[in-house]
Structure 1
Amino acid sequence: MEVGRLPISASKKGKLLSAGYTTFDAIARTSASDIARDIEVSESEALEILKYVLQTSRLDRSNRSSSALDVCDKGAQTAWAMLNEEKFSPRITTSCADLDNILGGGISCREVTEIGGVPGIGKTQIGIQLAVNVQIPVEYGGLGGKAIYIDTEGSFMVERVLEIAKACTEDLSEYSHLIHKDAQDCVVKIHPNSILENIFYFRVCSYTEQIALVNYLDKFITEHKDVKIIILDSVTIHFRQDFDDMALRTRLLSEMALKLMKLSKKFSLAVVMLNQVTTKHIEGSFQLTLALGDSWSHMCTNRIILFWNSNERLAYIDKSPSLKSASAPYSVTSRGIRNSTSSSKRVKMM
């Protein structure tokens, strides 16, 4: 439930989000005096907010009860149906055959995938590649969808997107010539400029903006139903700064991850969250690990760690309910993500 629905000023909504009141449930569990203190308003104003929340929550609970009865009427989903749903879930190619291989064909829709690694390893490059590849037409094995790109670090470079988009259309044209004899059939009906038009870009500069945007995505995707991937680059930066209350940070991250998971299921789309690394003291030594702590590691369906092995980039499936632990090499080229030039045939099962 969105704080954005409250009939109060934008500044007060921002203060509520900053204080950790991201849902009506969070507000309903708090006293008017606590709300007044946290967002610096009078107790009477806080009481009005609390009254509105409680009244609206009662109506929503009534509606949810009706929805719950509808779910019961439909009956349970069988494990066999779930298996087939997972098996035939659409996937988005990474443009690296070895990486697609260990991912079961690419990044899966209806799931949240976390991709993390050290600076310069190619996280943003993979994000951009997926935003382009999701638009590959259905007749070429793609989804023909659109992408949402959420940039928290300012690392999104539109010139680089155009470069990868041009390479994608060239690859499709070459593939078309191989499978079609008729010259007219070889025409690829996708242009680099149209690829850029189909990437919805959001720049967020604080964790409150990040939370507010995630809350808004349900409405946005309802209006743009052809969106098939959400890329968050990165989930980390605004949650690593100015957080003395780690319990609050964990709660905010958990709520955000849950909302993204619900979006992936509701709209049958892929969610890809890019993450940074940090150091952790393990068995007497400091080791690199993905940021945001152990609790965050359980909030995604799949977790992929990118790392260097000498001069070669490798991707390792660290966690997945359906994929085996495995690693595969990949390269970042001028044309985007591709097979590793040194050992593209080597895929190691762990």
Structure 2
Amino acid sequence: MRIVTLSMEDELELMELIDEEETDNGTEQKSGKEKKIEAINDLPGVGPTTAKKLSENGYDSLMSVAAASVAQLTSIASLGEKTAQKMIETARLALNLSFTSAEKILDQRHKLLRITTGSQALDELFRGGVETNSLTEFYGEFRTGKTQLAHQMCVTIQLLREEGGLKEAGKKSEPVKAIYIDTEGTFRPERIIAMAQRYPSLDPQEVLKNILVGRCYNTDHQIALIDKVGKDSQSENIGLIIIDSLTSHFRAEYIGRGTLAERQQKLNQHIHAILRIAEVSNLAVVATNQVHAKPDQFFGDPTAPVGGHVVAHAAQTRVMLRKSKGNRRIARIADSPLLPESEAVFTITEEGIFDP
């Protein structure tokens, strides 16, 4: 008996041939009719084996495949580059991902949901609340209210949509879940209970059940948690991802100018993965961010958010928080493609975020 040893490339080609044969066999049974692409199983080169691997890694819809890169698919599903490229192109054609009129984009934006912050003044700053399908960044010094806002939004997304949350009306409506990635060890369930008691329609214990907390200890762990959220968002009713804070581990692990390029590249890939989840699953992402001082600046505000241009270009809306008198805080729109630079004042109380 002769034993043949296959190289890694040969194994990949063999797997692709098997998957393609399985797919083609299914196509032939449709009496020569053109195959309609409606699911990932309909894509060329995707048989049961590949479809299972894709689904296990969060690529279980045409949109998720269309938004993926060739490198992502080849590393996840053990595909060749040509097969992965063909899959992506076919998914994009099926979804008609080409140029879209501005009128249609406006209609799509009207369907976006907005989450209340608990403060009417702050909601008006966002023109109705923090919107889904985007990344909103809150940055500022310590004790400016970043973590308090993160806690508050974990509560308010569980309100009905007419109340400023994301839950649909009806007895059988599925509860909306929030993901809280805690990189600094500042999540406190006691604050969630205190904030939830403010709303008569919410049960504090049920609110706690619908908040999934991941304590994060390094950058690799943080990236792994986001990857898991990407998989879970296809099957779970997740409405909000909180990352508190986005850059703390990157700042601690990559020290000095010699590691800056590596840090920024890793951070950039991480943020793009977050944005992909937000767009594919139409959920809101809120990230808090630390600041650092610029000792060479003698005029104006010497603090700047960590992450440089990578974070600045990625976040659709950037909000700077600063302290005021007592428990008052000031939020200012620092950057947004839609919102003008303006400010709002809010207060932090035992029951959460309020107007002054």
Q: Same fold (TM over 0.5)?
A: yes
* Residue 114 (str. 1) matches residue 137 (str. 2): yes
Q: 1:161 aligns with which of 192, 199, 207?
A: 192
Alpha-carbon displacement from aligned partner over 1:17-40 (angstroms, at most 9, x marks no partner): xxxxxx983999xxxxxxxxxxxx
Q: Amino acid of the residue matched to residue 273 of structure 1? A: A
1:241 Cα deviation (Å)?
Answer: 1.4
Q: Amino acid of the residue matched to residue 253 of structure 1? A: L
Q: Which residue of 1 aligns with 2:303?
A: 288
Q: Secondary structure at the match of 2:241?
A: strand
Alpha-carbon displacement from aligned partner over 1:174-198 (angstroms, at most 9, x marks no partner): xxxxxxxxxxxxxx4x311111111
1:141 Cα deviation (Å)?
Answer: 4.3
1:69 Cα deviation (Å)?
Answer: 2.5
1:283 Cα deviation (Å)?
Answer: 4.7
Alpha-carbon displacement from aligned partner over 1:105-160 (angstroms, at most 9, x marks no partner): 11011110000111111111000000000000235342112211110110001111
Maintained 8 Å contact 2:155/2:207: yes
* Mapped partners of 2:314, 2:165: distance in 1: 27
Aligned residue pairs: how many? 277
Q: Which residue of 2 aligns with 1:332?
A: 348
Report % sequence identity.
Answer: 29
* Mapped partners of 1:56, 1:166: distance in 2: 54
Maintained 8 Å contact 2:179/2:238: yes
Note the 1:31-42 alignment, pairs <5 A: none
Q: Secondary structure at the match of 2:85?
A: helix
Q: Secondary structure at the match of 1:222?
A: coil
1:216 Cα deviation (Å)?
Answer: 1.8
Q: Which residue of 1 aligns with 2:14?
A: none
* Residue 300 (str. 1) matches residue 315 (str. 2): yes
Q: Which residue of 2 aligns with 1:64?
A: 88
Q: Which residue of 2 aligns with 1:208?
A: 220
**Structure 2: tracts of 5 or more residues without a match:** 1-52, 54-68, 168-175
* Mapped partners of 2:161, 2:146: distance in 1: 26
Compared CA separation, residues 26 and 195, structure 1 to 2 (3 A): closer
Compared CA separation, residues 26 and 200, structure 1 to 2 (3 A): closer
* Mapped partners of 1:229, 1:287: distance in 2: 32
Q: Amino acid of the residue matched to residue 218 of structure 1? A: G
* Residue 217 (str. 1) matches residue 235 (str. 2): no
Maintained 8 Å contact 2:135/2:286: yes
Q: Secondary structure at the match of 1:76?
A: coil
Q: Which residue of 2 aligns with 1:229?
A: 240
Maintained 8 Å contact 2:125/2:344: yes
1:253 Cα deviation (Å)?
Answer: 1.1
Q: Amino acid of the residue matched to residue 289 of structure 1? A: A
* Mapped partners of 1:27, 1:198: distance in 2: 31
* Mapped partners of 2:126, 2:246: distance in 1: 22
* Mapped partners of 1:148, 1:283: distance in 2: 38
Q: Secondary structure at the match of 1:297?
A: helix
Alpha-carbon displacement from aligned partner over 1:57-80 (angstroms, at most 9, x marks no partner): 4432221121132244x6532211
Q: Tell me the C-alpha RMSD between the 2 structures.
A: 2.5
Q: Which residue of 2 aligns with 1:273?
A: 287
1:56 Cα deviation (Å)?
Answer: 4.3
Note the 1:174-213 alignment, pairs <5 A: 188=201, 190-213=202-225
* Mapped partners of 2:151, 2:325: distance in 1: 25
Maintained 8 Å contact 1:24/1:53: no
TM-score between the two structures when normalised by the length of structure 1:
0.73
1:54 Cα deviation (Å)?
Answer: 7.3
Q: Which residue of 1 aligns with 2:156?
A: 133
TM-score between the two structures when normalised by the length of structure 2:
0.72
Q: Amino acid of the residue matched to residue 77 of structure 1? A: T
Q: Which moved more, 1:77-86 or 1:147-156?
A: 77-86
* Mapped partners of 2:243, 2:139: distance in 1: 12
1:263 Cα deviation (Å)?
Answer: 1.1
Q: Amino acid of the residue matched to residue 195 of structure 1? A: V
